[in-house]
Amino acid sequence: MKRNKRLPIILTCAILGSYVLLPTVEVKAAAKVSTWDLVDSGKHMDYDGNSKYMSQVKFGAGLWNAHKKGVIRPDSASVIEDVYCSDVSVNNSTNATTYSNGRLVFNKKKYGQVIY
């Protein structure tokens, strides 16, 4: 069986060439660190709401709780709600905003464009 000596060179050029030819996408993001949090004195954050994105809130809570069990949990009748999730529809570049009074507001016009 005869081996093509040029094959590694051709493959390398094809791979490197694809990086040059692929379009680039510019992505901008910003995060701000707050001086407050929504965790209660029992070291929990109890959430509720009527947001279209409650399944994503539940999923995110599950990811966090896999790291540290029971910190973020659904609100119940026996505890005070720490965070209420709702939606707005505004033309700006913000996906979601958390407020110190316990509101988490998702922007349907932007957050709905997020690819999961």
Q: Strands across the sheet with 83-88, in order?
A: 72-74, 45-49, 83-88, 103-107, 96-98
- The answer to whether residue 24 scores a pLDDT higher than 90 is no
Residue written as tokens 């709905």? 112
CATH number given to 37-116: 3.40.390.10
pLDDT > 90 in the chain, percent: 49
To which H or E segment does residue 87 belong?
strand 83-88
DSSP tag of 112? T
| pLDDT tens digit sequence for 66-90 | 999 989 999 999 999 999 999 999 9
Tokens of 115: 């690819």
Please provide the average confidence, as pLDDT, over all residues in the chain. Answer: 84
DSSP tag of 15? H
Confirm whether pTM is higher than 0.75: no
What residue type is 88 in one-letter code? V
To which H or E segment does residue 74 belong?
strand 72-74
Identify the CA nearest to 112 among candidates 100, 96, 98. Answer: 96
- The answer to whether residue 23 scores a pLDDT higher than 70 is no
Residue 110: per-residue pLDDT? 85
